[in-house]
Amino acid sequence: MLNCQRSLFQLDESVTFLNCAYLSPQLKSVAAAGIHALERKNKPNRLAPEHFFSQVKGVKAEFARLINTPEPGRIALIPAASYGIATVAKNLPLRSGQDIIVAKDQFPSNYYSWARLAQEKGANLRMVEVPAGPDKGRRWNEAILAAIGPQTALVAISHVHWAEGVLFDLLAFREKTDQFGAWLVVDGTQSVGALPFDVAKIRPDALVCAAYKWLMGPYATALAYYGPVLDNGVPIEENWINRKNSENFQGLVNYQSDYQPLAGRYCVGEHSNFVLMPMLETALQQLNAWEPQRIQDYLRQLNAPYIQELLELGFRVLPEAQRAHHLVGLGLPAGVEMEPVQAALAAANVIVSVRGQSIRIAPNVYNDARDWEQLMGVLRQVKHTQSVH
Ligand SMILES: Cc1ncc(COP(=O)(O)O)c(C=O)c1O
């Protein structure tokens, strides 16, 4: 069982930070790796051609381990989740009249590419929604499964809904998409790192993850896994380092028609990024040492008594089987308005996000019972005052 890992971070002790779904705090080790890497550029002669490849190899290996694939060559380094999604959109064989399925209100980086593609190809973008109410997680999964059929070309979804915390049943989606030869694309930005993701089991055609939240990496780094359907696809840009033999700097103008193997063709130009890659590798090493399942176990135990109390106070939380423990959507009790709750949270320096009609509580391994107590102090108070009026 993990203990609280707060000492590994430089948290601002004057705020209660329960918002990793927005931006993770920085590990001290990641900051140190960045500073060291920044200073390296003072002596550019120390950066040899092999450094364009070696760090990237380390990052791919760590991420491959985290998502359980034996093939680090299937990992691409990209600058944003939207970039990884655009790569899939460029390669999806989509015919007029076919369906692309997304969940209602999913993050825009996993929406706009599909909206454009559907429009260009005369396909249908189906946004699956279910009304609010009990068991929303179960009903939503059922509705998405029911939407998948012979006309489906692709399901583009996340593992955990970024606003409400609904856990999507990726295994069931995979089974059904397999029946119809449809692709399954997962945005893991709000889950991978904190929640186990098993490529060997789920077999997504693509998985994309921005790294600045649960992967604890620097902003402007992201990672993708691309499965066999994308092995011979076309990248959204053509850069020199993705081509075969790019390791040979003397031969770069012996232009090559072949790419680096597997997902090597999909990495962004200048992905060797000498400052950000060491930071990302350090963060991934730490996550692999912690293990996502142990992070979930830590958070489950930490959250449990407070969630129980919130339910007793009339707040709404999804049943445990329909959510994860690192991103919990909290609906307000009847008669309690969001605006005063937000004001009270801000006044107490409790940092959470409001997404739609829910408060999003996103704890991680640096949080402990003191943080929950700060949050609960506010929620108990607003419930009490607003119920009295
Ligand atoms: C589910 C999800 N995907 C992706 C992102 C970030 O996307 P991008 O890397 O394209 O900026 C976010 C940011 O909040 C998110 O919540």
Ligand 1 binding pocket includes 109 (Cβ within 6 Å): yes
Q: Which of 19, 114, 189, 219 to mutate to test the pocket of ligand 1 (most atoms within 8 A of CB)?
A: 189
Of all protein residues, the one whose alpha carbon is nearest to atom 11 of ligand 1 is 80
* Burial class (CB within 10 angstroms; exposed 0-12, middle 13-18, buried 19+) of 329: buried
- Look up the pTM and report it: 0.97
Question: Ligand 1 mean position to 21 CA, how many Å?
Answer: 9
Q: Does the beta carbon of 80 sit less than 6 angstroms from any atom of ligand 1?
A: yes
- Measure 210 CA to ligand 1 centroid, in angstroms: 6
| Per-residue pLDDT tens digits of the chain, which is 389 residues long | 999 999 999 999 999 999 999 999 999 999 999 999 999 999 999 899 999 999 999 999 999 999 999 999 999 999 999 999 999 999 999 999 999 999 999 999 999 999 999 999 999 999 999 998 899 999 999 999 999 999 999 999 999 999 889 999 999 999 999 999 999 999 999 999 999 999 999 999 999 999 999 999 999 999 999 999 999 999 999 999 999 999 999 999 999 999 999 999 999 999 999 999 999 999 999 999 999 999 999 999 999 999 999 999 999 999 999 999 999 999 999 889 999 999 999 999 999 999 777 899 999 999 999 999 999 999 999 888 876 65
Count CA atoms within 13 Å of residue 285 on its CB side.
13
Enumerate domains of the chain plus CATH numbers: 6-21+291-388 (3.90.1150.10), 29-289 (3.40.640.10)
Alpha carbon distances (Å) from 35 to 28, 41, 94, 279: 11, 11, 45, 9
- Rounded to whole angstroms, the Cα distance separating 268 from 206 reads 16
Say what the pLDDT of residue 355 is.
79
Counts of helices then strands in the chain (DSSP H, E): 11, 12
For residue 81, the CA-to-ligand 1 centroid distance in Å is: 6
- Estimate the share of the chain in helix, then strand, then coil, as percent rounded to the nearest 5: 45, 15, 40
pLDDT of residue 188: 98
**Are 177 and 198 in contact, with CB atoms under 8 Å apart?**
no
The vertex-136 CA angle with 355 and 141, nearest 5°, equals: 105
With a 6 Å cutoff on the Cβ, whether 107 touches ligand 1 is: yes
Q: Are 135 and 163 in contact (CB under 8 A)?
A: no
Best residue among 78, 113, 186, 190 to mutate for probing ligand 1's pocket (most ligand atoms within 8 Å of CB) is: 190
pLDDT of residue 10: 93
| Ligand 1 atom 3 nearest Cα | 189
Q: Please name the helix (run of DSSP H) or strand (run of DSSP E) that holds residue 7, with its range, or none.
A: none
Partners of 16 in the β-ladder: 350
CA 140 to ligand 1 center in whole angstroms: 21
**Residue 26 CA, ligand 1 centroid: distance in Å:** 18
Query: In this predicted structure, what is the pLDDT of residue 335?
Result: 87
CB count in 10 Å sphere of residue 5? 17
Among the atoms of ligand 1, which is closest to the Cα of residue 82? Answer: 10
Ligand 1 site, residue 185, Cβ cutoff 6 A: no
Helix (H, G, I), strand (E, B) or coil at 357: coil
Q: Kind and range of the H or E element at 21?
A: none
Using the mean position of ligand 1's atoms as its centre, give its distance from the Cα of residue 245 in Å. Answer: 33
Phi first, then psi, for residue 186 (nearest 5°) are -115, 130
**β-bridge pairing 222-226 and 75-78:** antiparallel
Among protein residues, the one with the nearest Cα to ligand 1's atom 14 is 22
Q: Is 113 in the pocket of ligand 1 (CB under 6 A)?
A: no
